[in-house]
Amino acid sequence: MTDHRSASPGPHAPHIRTPVGVALIMRRVLYALAPALVAYVWFFGFGIVFNIIIAVVAALVTETVCLRVRGQELPVFLGDYSAVVTGVLLAFALPPLTPWWITALGSVFAIAVAKQAYGGVGNNLFNPAMAGYVALLVSFPEQLTNWLPPRMGDLDYEPLSLLASLQFTLTGALPAGFSLDAIARATPLDLMQNELGQMRTVEEIRGSFLFGDFGGRGWEWIGNFIALGGFWLLTRGIIRWHIPVGVLSGLLVCATVFFLIDSGIHPSPGFHLFSGGALLCAFFIATDPVSAPSTERGRLIFGVGIGVLTYVIRSWGSYPDGIAFAVLLMNLAVPLIDRYTQPTVYGTGASNR
Amino acid sequence: MSAPLSYDPQPPRPAWGVRVEPHKALSMGQGIRIAPLPRQVRVPLDLTAMRVAEAIVAPGDSILTGQVIARFPGPGGNAICAPVTGRVRDIAPCPVPVAGNYQARCISIDTAGEDRWSEDCKPLEPAGSLSRENLQARIARAGIVGLGGALFPTADKLRTRTPVNLLILNGAECEPYITCDEMLMRDRPERVIHGAAIMLRALGARQAVIAVESDMPEARLALKAALAETDEPGIGVAVVTAKYPAGGERQLIELLTGQEVPLGGLPGDLGIVCQNVATAAAVSDLFRQGRPLISRIVTVTGNGIGQPGNFEVRLGTPLRELIAAAGGYAQPDCQLYMGGPMMGIALDSDELPVTEASNCLIVSTPEEMAAPRPEFPCIRCGECSRVCPARLMPQDLLIACMAGDAERQAALQVDACIECGCCDYVCPSQIALTARFVQAKAQQRHWRLDQARAAEARERSDAHARRQAERAAQYADGPKADPASGEQAMKDLMARLGQRDPTDD
């Protein structure tokens, strides 16, 4: 180097950039969830709307407090919508009738412990929404299994009004004539697991009004809309195919194998696909880039791992749906997966030696 | 004639790279225009730190166009030729528009208003009668360097020690805005082919392929038509997908041959030599017209220039005069860039001279290029590694760079980074990745030097310890001679003292 060189004056190359920033990515994730939200409200009432509002407000307040404590720039980091996405995903995982303080607690845990304690956006080891959900699931198992029956099928279906939902969410009280025991139902996955445990066959269990063509009634349609949103994200390049394909193939291959072995005690692959959070996980939860591996092969492995673990937990675990645990367990495996899936850098392959 | 290598006109799409708004039509409205002779030129002597030329003219000397005014030391015989006729004003450091934006020692020449050519500038046809060495020497003396931006002396690249199977003429101009090579292939395809034929002879190779991008159908047709008219054997045209950075040397070789240039190696390791199409045209001009490298085609483009287009410009022309030739600034607050928007450098003045590396001058309006935005934390979305043509993991390298961990950077092969800027382009967090990797690559050189020094010191210390130990062992062994002889000595001693043998007890 000659001594007359000095630092470059202008900005560094490249001088053009994609307009897709983190905030736009997060906003598109939210847009993609909108169709599923509409289906959700149709089948299970307005509870989820209150859950979303409470979870998002709690997430934003927690984020603000944490950022202030950590001395970070508020406008930059609050404007990224990542806390909003966390809140919305948590709300999607919760039953429609969840007391507000449980929702808020989950949101606070997700943001404060699972995200900010690790250093904020980009640094969290675990999926914040799933960490928050699991914290609630192990702390409040009863409240988190009180699902409402879906619209249709139930002959004496009486939807909770907007006000009644709000009243329950805020105060835990139901209008006269309603009791939680009377209106709450298990989820199809819950029912399947319980009844299978009581030596019934899949065919018998599926006679319940909670079941539709493949999975749970209502859940199927929500699943369709989630997949719709997911495909839109794929076409916009917001998510890539590796994780969704991994999750769904992991789950479906396991389900198909056991279904073929004994369809009496193993529900069909369609049931697994359209029940619980399988599709939400495949397109929206497991695709959180921060807590997923960074290599493409790694993301496929990560997805397959989640799918297989979900099947294992659903079939032989004590929780009806295994999504959250599967995601968190695979989050733990991310450094290992990354380590063993590094691509071969150009010009360093064996063929070049 | 038929192409020596049969390539699919719609080649497979590479997994890496980015599709960027091309902005090429802007400067392709008309053919190549000749820029007026400049009033003053500045010819840099040390455009790259590796090669420093020595001036053979002094201030006050009268200069003719094409005359050798500086030579590079060494056996290559590489020279620099005067781009204009005039008088040397001075030889002093001046800023130049190449990476680093540093000051190079420049010969400043005031032009005389006329263009008288040196006696040396005579056509060298027929080139076919000249020997390989002779061709190389003439190319070196004419000051021809790679016009793709690397500035490597063409003659040195033609003097290969290992046999060359394939000459690639790189016309895959993948950066947005830049059209100088495409216009050259459209307007002067016969020069590219003629130059390629001479280079083949100078290399002793038989096969050449001119690579164009799939979005340059006119250039491809022009080359095909010109090829049909010549009797040059072994030259073909190949099409590669128009995707940035398909025109990067290593990427182009991968696309055309499926082979990868080893890290730290050169295309020559694969029996391949890459030359820019403009370099081939310069070689043709030398032999057919007797014209050494005194000018190049520069794309002047951007929304801030009056009449964008491609100009044949004398080297050393101040950008200000080139901008005037292109209709001047369209508005006052323009920013200048040398090169394309992906790898080009921002300039802070229009007084800088055109160099051999100046393929494109972008005069941009403030809203044309991305304004610097604050960096956001990496969300590990992986888009950077998806587009990286070197298959690096920029997101992991970023962590290694922020930690200043040279060992980790080396493990992640930061040296394989070709600085194309794709990772920056796609990063949703607007992280300046490439700039960090450029810095890391520079630090790697220091780090390796330190490592080597440390290893040497350790070896020396070990050797010293070993010698110490050996010496100590020698001293320890010294008095302990053979036990048998010691016993004998004791017996002898006892015998002499007239006592009985002590071992008899």
Each residue of A154-170: pLDDT tens digit?
555 566 777 888 888 88
Instruction: Specify if A116 maps to a domain.
Output: yes
CA distance A239 to A223: 18
Query: Which of the listed residues A161, A186, A211 is the one where a domain comes to its end?
Result: A186
> Are A40 and A178 contained in the same domain?
yes
Does residue B89 belong to the interface with chain A, where contact is any CB pair within 8 Å? no
Among the listed residues A196, A193, A189, A256, the one whose alpha carbon sits nearest the alpha carbon of residue A223 = A189
A337–chain B Cβ distance below 8 A for any pair: no
E-strand stretches of B158-289:
166-170, 207-213, 235-240, 272-276
A35-39, A244-248, B264-268, B497-501: least confident range: B497-501
- How many domains is chain B partitioned into structurally? 3
Q: Does residue A239 contact residue A26 with C-beta atoms inside 8 Å? A: no
- The CA distance from A223 to A282, in Å, is 11
Residue B446's CATH number: 1.10.1060
A67 within some domain: yes
Give me the pLDDT at residue A9, please.
Answer: 39
The predicted-structure confidence for A205-216, as pLDDT tens digits, reads as follows 777 777 777 777
Q: Is the residue at A346 inside a domain?
A: no
Does any domain span residue B3? no
Determine the average pLDDT of the residues in A240-258: 96
Q: Using alpha carbons, list the distances in angstroms from residue A325 to A127, A141, B192.
A: 11, 14, 63
For chain B, what percent of residues have pLDDT higher than 90? 71
Count of domains forming chain A: 2
CA contacts within 13 A on the Cβ side of B21 = 11
- Asked if B306 and B344 sit in the same domain, the reply is yes
Residues in a beta bridge with B273: B167
Measured distance CA(B418)–CA(B441) in Å, rounded: 10
- What per-residue confidence (pLDDT) applies to A132? 96
> Are residues A286 and A306 in contact, defined by beta-carbon separation less than 8 angstroms?
yes
Residues B427-453 have a mean pLDDT of 91
- Judge if A172 and A46 occupy the same domain: yes
Asked whether residue B104 is assigned to any structural domain, the reply reads no
Question: Distance (Å) from the C-alpha of residue A312 to the closest C-alpha of chain B?
Answer: 28
A9 in B contact zone (CB under 8 Å): yes
Q: Does A3 touch chain B (CB under 8 A)?
A: no
Q: Which of B309, B334, B364 is the last residue before a domain boundary?
A: B364
What's the angle, vertex CA B6, arms to CA B1 and CA B10, rounded to 5? 115
Together in a domain, B242 and B317: no
- Among chain A residues, the shortest Cα distance to B396 is held by A294
Q: How does residue B106 score in pLDDT terms, banded at 50, 70 and 90?
A: very high
Give the largest CA-CA distance in chain A. 88
Residue A92 above 50 pLDDT? yes
CA angle A165, A169, A172 (to 5 degrees): 105
Report yes or no on A3 lying in a domain. no
- What confidence tier does B1 reach under pLDDT thresholds 50, 70, 90? very low
This complex has an ipTM of 0.86
**Cis peptide before B83, with omega less than 30 degrees from 0?**
no
pLDDT at position B476, please? Answer: 75
Residues A117 and A181 in one domain: yes
What is the percent of chain B where pLDDT is above 70? 94
> How far is the alpha carbon of A121 from chain B, nearest alpha carbon, in Å?
7
Q: Are residues A26 and A112 in the same domain?
A: yes
**A187 closest CA partner among A162, A219, A157, A155:** A219
Residue A349 domain-assigned (yes or no): no
Of A186, A214, A231, the domain-final residue: A186
Q: Does some domain include residue A347?
A: no
Q: Which residue of A has its CA nearest to B105?
A: A4
Contact criterion met (CB < 8 Å) for A14 and B343: yes
Q: How far is CA B57 from CA B40, B80, B88, B145, in A?
A: 16, 11, 8, 21
B439/A8: higher pLDDT: B439
- Residue B319 is predicted with a pLDDT of 96
Same domain, B379 and B360: no
Separation between Cα atoms, residue A345 and residue B42, nearest integer Å: 41
B176: contact with A, CB 8 A cutoff: yes
User: Quick one: which H or E segment has residue B338?
Assistant: strand B335-338
Chain B residue nearest residue A343, CA to CA: B391
- A218 and A151 Cβ atoms separated by less than 8 Å: yes
What's the pLDDT at B7?
47
Q: Structure pTM?
A: 0.85
Peptide bond into B217 cis (omega under 30): no
Any idea which residue has 């508020």 for tokens?
Answer: A74
Which of the listed residues A139, A155, A186 is the one where a domain comes to its end?
Answer: A186
- Model pLDDT, residue B499: 61
Cα–Cα nearest to B392, from B364, B363, B365, B420: B420
pLDDT > 60? residue A269:
yes
Over 90: is that where the pLDDT of A62 sits? Answer: yes
State the average pLDDT for chain B: 89
What is the percent of chain A with per-residue pLDDT over 70, rounded to a whole number?
Answer: 93
Say if residue A18's pLDDT is above 70. yes
Mean pLDDT (chain A, rounded): 87
CA–CA distance, B358 with B365 (Å, rounded to integer): 20
Amino acid at B70: A
Predicted pLDDT at B139: 93
Question: Which pLDDT belongs to residue B326?
Answer: 95
Lowest mean pLDDT among A18-27, A134-143, A344-353, B274-283: A344-353
For residues B72 and B142, give the distance between their C-alpha atoms in angstroms, rounded to a whole number: 12
- In the prediction, which pLDDT does A179 show? 73
pLDDT at site A243: 97
Whether B301 and chain A come into contact, CB under 8 Å, resolves to no
Which B-chain residues 440-499 have CB contacts (< 8 A) with chain A? none
Domain check: are B142 and B230 in the same one?
yes
Tell me the residue range of the domain where B388 lies: 372-505
Pair (B127, B269) in one structural domain: yes
- Identify the H or E element spanning B312: strand B309-314
Where does the pLDDT of residue B6 fall: very low under 50, low under 70, confident under 90, or very high at 90 and above?
very low
Residues A299 and A171 in one domain: no
Whether A110 and A227 map to the same domain: the answer is no
Beta carbons of B378 and A13 less than 8 Å apart: no
Structure tokens at A325: 């645990």
- Residue B53 pLDDT: 92
CB B286 within 8 A of CB B139: yes
Position A55 scores a pLDDT of 96
State pLDDT tens for residues B396-424: 999 999 999 999 999 999 999 999 999 99
Measured CA to CA, the distance from residue B49 to residue A133 in angstroms comes to 59
Average pLDDT score over residue span A63-90: 88
| Same domain as B409, residue B278 | no
Q: Least CB-CB distance to A122: which of B379, B393, B396?
A: B379
Distance CA(B286)–CA(B268), nearest Å, equals 25
A307 and A243 within one domain: yes
B128 and B274, same domain (yes or no): yes
- Give me the pLDDT at residue A146, please: 79
**Higher pLDDT pick, B20 / A174:** B20
Q: Are residues B246 and B315 in the same domain?
A: no
**pLDDT value, residue A97:** 85
Per-residue H/E/C for A131-164:
HHHHHHHHHCCCHHHCECCCCCCCCCCCCCCHHH
pLDDT tens profile B305-360: 999 999 999 999 999 999 999 999 999 889 999 999 999 999 988 999 999 999 99
Verify that B450 and B328 share a domain, yes or no. no
CA dihedral A185, A187, A189, A195 (to 10 degrees): 0
B493 and B464, same domain (yes or no): yes
| One domain for residues B354 and B493 | no
Answer whether residue B45 is part of any domain: no
Taking alpha carbons only, the member of B238, B275, B242 closest to residue B258 is B238
Token pair belonging to B161:
């020690």
Which candidate from B377, B396, B416 shows the least CB-CB separation from A294?
B396
Summary count for chain B: helices (H), strands (E): 14, 17
Position A152 scores a pLDDT of 61
Q: What string of DSSP letters covers B461-478? A: HHHHHHHHHHHHHHHHHT
* Chain A interface disruption, residue of B379, B384, B427, B436, most A CBs within 10 A: B379
Task: Tell whether the torsion through CA atoms of A211, A214, A216 and A217 is positive or negative.
Answer: negative
Query: Does B310 map to a domain?
Result: yes
**Cβ atoms within 10 Å of B209's Cβ, excluding its own:** 23
Q: State whether A289 and B380 contact (CB < 8 Å).
A: yes
Examine the domain organization and report whether B476 and B495 are in the same domain.
Answer: yes
Q: Check whether residue A137 and residue A85 sit in a common domain.
A: yes
Domain that holds residue A205: 195-339
How would you list the strands of the sheet with B166-170, edge to edge? B235-240, B207-213, B166-170, B272-276
Q: The tokens 């032989």 sit on which residue?
A: A316
Residue A1 belongs to some domain of the structure: no
Same domain membership, residue A174 and residue A27: yes
Chain B segment 247-276 residues within 8 A of A by beta carbon are 250, 254, 259-265
The per-residue pLDDT for B149 is 82
First-residue to last-residue Cα distance in chain B: 109
Mean pLDDT of A74-83: 81
Same domain? For A180 and A225 the reply is no
Domain boundary (B322, B346, B364) is at: B364
The mean pLDDT value for B146-174 works out to 91
The answer to whether the Cβ–Cβ distance between A296 and B421 falls below 8 Å is: no
Does residue A200 lie within any of the structural domains?
A: yes
Same domain, A47 and A175: yes
Boundary residue ending a domain (B364, B385, B404): B364
pLDDT of A12 strictly over 90:
no
B341/A6 CB distance under 8 A: no
Helices and strands (H, E) in chain A, number of each type: 16, 0
Reported confidence tier of residue B4, pLDDT bands at 50, 70, 90 = very low
Residues A139 and A30 in one domain: yes
Place of tokens 């470059």: A8
Number of Cβ pairs < 8 A linking chain A and chain B: 172
Q: What share of chain A is helix, strand, coil (3-state, %, to 5)?
A: 60, 0, 35
Question: Nearest Cα to B200, choosing from B148, B226, B162, B235?
Answer: B235
pLDDT reading at B189 higher than 70: yes
The strand pairing partners of A147, in sequence order, are: A185
The pLDDT assigned to A236 comes to: 93
Tens digits of per-residue pLDDT, B271-296?
999 999 999 999 999 999 999 999 99
